[in-house]
């Protein structure tokens, strides 16, 4: 998984990331969007498009943000 959608997206779900993604790997969950790691090509278009800066490279996650990686893994697991 290259990118993770974190807390600013929770209940915001602006959706600009969905429309910009060239491979349609962003899926809407109950309270936020999730990036499918099996489809993502790691282009970064979603990062630039996100108006709330919720999308972070998984290697840049803080300890507090790790829960969003776990949520994404569970969503697609």
CATH of residue 36: 3.30.70.20
- pLDDT at position 2 over 90: no
- pLDDT at position 22 over 80: yes
Backbone torsion region of residue 42, taken as left when φ is above 0, otherwise alpha when ψ lies between -120 and 50, otherwise beta: left
- pLDDT at position 52 over 70: yes
Determine the structural domain holding residue 62 and report its residue range: 3-76
Nearest Cα to 5, choosing from 44, 43, 57?
A: 57
Structural domain count of the chain: 1
**14, 51 in Cβ contact below 8 A?**
yes
SS3 percent helix, strand, coil of the chain, rounded to 5, is 40, 15, 45
**56, 3 in Cβ contact below 8 A?**
yes
| pLDDT at position 12 | 85
- pLDDT at position 1 over 70: no
Which helix (H) or strand (E) element contains residue 73? helix 66-76
């Amino acid at each position: 998984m290259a990118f993770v959608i974190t807390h600013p997206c929770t209940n915001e779900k602006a959706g600009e990331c969905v429309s910009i993604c060239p491979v349609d790997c962003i899926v809407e969950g109950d309270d936020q969007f999730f990036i499918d790691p099996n489809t993502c090509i790691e282009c970064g278009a979603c990062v630039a498009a996100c108006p709330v800066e919720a999308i972070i490279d998984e290697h840049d996650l803080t300890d507090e943000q790790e829960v969003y990686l776990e949520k994404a893994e569970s969503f697609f697991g």
